[in-house]
Amino acid sequence: MAQRYTARDIIGVNPITAMPFTAQGEVDEKSMVRLLEHLANSGAQGTTLFGIASEFPKLSDDERNRLAQLFVSTLAGGPIWGAMSVTDHSTELAVKRARYYASLGVDALMLLPPFFLQPNPQAIQDHIFAVLEAVDIPVMVQYAPGETGLSITPQQLALVAKRYPHAVFKIECHPPVDYTREFLALAPEASVLNGYAGLYMLQMLNAGGKGVMPGCSFTEVYVRIYRHWQNGEHQQAEALHQSLLPFIQRWMSHCEYIIQVEKTLLMRRGIIATDYCRRPGWLLTPEDDRLIHSFMSQFQL
């Protein structure tokens, strides 16, 4: 991670790194290294650790610190940037963690604003500002009201964009397109990415978004869609995205559902050793197994 990245470099396909565990539920570092090496060669522009799809609430602090070091050392000198998410609900701890991750040499951060016990809007804004002021590397401010129950208006987000040029915005309200248009009208220089498994990938790119942050088990499919879009091959991009939609629409009906599916796909592709998710999780059905097999066949994974 020798290159210095700016907010404008945080574009393209940037999957959230899954969290491999052994069959006994321990962190599987060998599988993690294999997964990161796979992502580095997938055509993606970057990857982010400790997102919701990384099962971050199910990790201990010791595990998180060890994984942060492993993440930075594995990606060092490679073709993609690496980011790590700051998820602490205490502003003081979030600032400390942001500085610690930056000191390790990570290229960017992602910030999940605090939502536990419903802090007031001023406290949330102060939290976001404090983390942004603690570091000078790009920080992706995450807006995921479906997962957090926290609403932030486009006007509030625009204040962040105008004050902090190293802020990037991961917008995944449902649906995100009108919100993004309103936000970018207020803050036209801001960089916007979208998560939510890429359900709105093309609409968000057409609305002025810069990239997508899906899960990581079929990154190559998102890369193909993005390259078609970049090359002006909009019909091909749309056709490929449409063929993906029936699968991701079903799997995104619950966060734990798609986390489990992604892990099973990674295991079946030989990238990680097991598809274990820490409990509580999601139990796949025989119908899910058939669907995953069909998906791998259709997209040649």
The yes-or-no verdict on residue 6 having pLDDT over 80 is: yes
Give the pLDDT mean for 8-30: 97
Q: Looking at this protein, which amino acid is placed at residue 87?
A: T
Backbone angles phi, psi at 47, to 5 degrees: -150, 150
Give the pLDDT mean for 110-117: 92
Indicate the pLDDT class of residue 172, thresholds 50, 70 and 90: confident
Q: Report the pLDDT value the prediction gives residue 2, as an integer from 0 to 100.
A: 52
* 262-272 tens-digit pLDDT: 999 999 999 99
* pTM for this model (two decimals): 0.95
Give the pLDDT mean for 64-75: 98
